[in-house]
């Protein structure tokens, strides 16, 4: 036998020439998991991402039906409406009182000017304790508007209610009443005969016999 015939063929297709599981061109051979079982790559390719349409059908956690819109009970709704009505009524009363006080201030300013023009002299004003108990001096001068001397107009144009809590300190040191918002009706809401229209009271203080 010649040397050419005895030398092994380097490119043979036997077990020694190509390792098991290797492709002839040097790449990896396709793997299988057994008869009828797709390779892992094929299984992964067969599992597709969720369809966008299906994902859109799922409820959003941040927009669940009814979220942020708790039902209001009839009782709570009734209380809310009643409270709103009461607030509106109070606002209307406050606006009306303010308008009346503005009108009353105009009448008082005219009265002070007329009193000075007619020579109707003011007098020292005194306060009295509740129920007529005690008499206390004040630094004010003006004109009493009621016969019981519990309401007066000062020379400064202020409207004063001259009733105070009785006390020994007030008797010794005197008191200084603060001006209040004047009403158009003095003593409104009191007993019969206790209310007095402001224009009538001012006319009386001026000495108008027809008032």
- Tens digits of residue pLDDT in 155-183: 999 999 999 998 888 888 999 999 999 99
Contact 141, 122 (CB under 8 A): yes
Residue with tokens 């067969």: 46
What are the DSSP calls for 52-101, one per residue? HHHHHHSPPGGG-TTTT-PPPPHHHHHHHHHHHHHHHHHHHHHHHHHHHH
Q: Which residue has the higher pLDDT, 62 or 196?
A: 196
The answer to whether the pTM exceeds 0.85 is no
Pull the structure tokens for residue 204.
């009386």
Q: Which residue has the higher pLDDT, 69 or 116?
A: 116
What pLDDT was estimated at residue 131? 81
Q: How many CA atoms lie within 13 A of 110 on its CB side?
A: 10
- Tens digits of residue pLDDT in 70-124: 677 888 888 888 899 999 999 998 899 899 999 999 999 999 999 999 999 999 9
Neighbouring residues of 97: CB distance < 8 A, sequence distance ≥ 6:
181, 183
H/E run at residue 110: helix 74-118
């Amino acid at each position: 036998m010649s040397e050419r015939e005895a030398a092994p063929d380097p490119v043979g297709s036997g077990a020694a020439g190509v390792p098991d599981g290797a492709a002839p061109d040097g790449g990896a051979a396709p793997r299988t998991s057994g008869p009828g079982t797709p390779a892992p790559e094929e299984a992964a390719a067969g599992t597709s991402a969720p369809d966008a349409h299906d994902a859109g059908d799922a409820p959003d956690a941040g927009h669940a039906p009814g979220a942020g819109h708790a039902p209001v009970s009839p009782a709570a709704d009734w209380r809310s409406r009643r409270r709103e009505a009461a607030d509106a009524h109070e606002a209307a009363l406050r606006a009306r009182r303010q308008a009346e006080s503005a009108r009353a201030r105009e009448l008082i300013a005219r009265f002070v000017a007329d009193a000075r023009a007619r020579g109707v002299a003011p007098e020292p004003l005194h306060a009295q304790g509740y129920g007529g108990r005690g008499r206390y001096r004040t630094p004010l001068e003006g004109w009493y508007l009621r016969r019981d001397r519990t309401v007066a107009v000062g020379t400064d144009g202020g409207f004063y209610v001259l009733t105070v809590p009785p006390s020994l300190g007030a008797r010794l040191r005197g008191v200084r009443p603060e001006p209040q918002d004047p009403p158009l009706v003095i003593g409104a809401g009191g007993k019969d005969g206790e209310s007095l229209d402001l224009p009538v009271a001012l006319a009386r203080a001026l000495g108008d016999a027809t008032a």
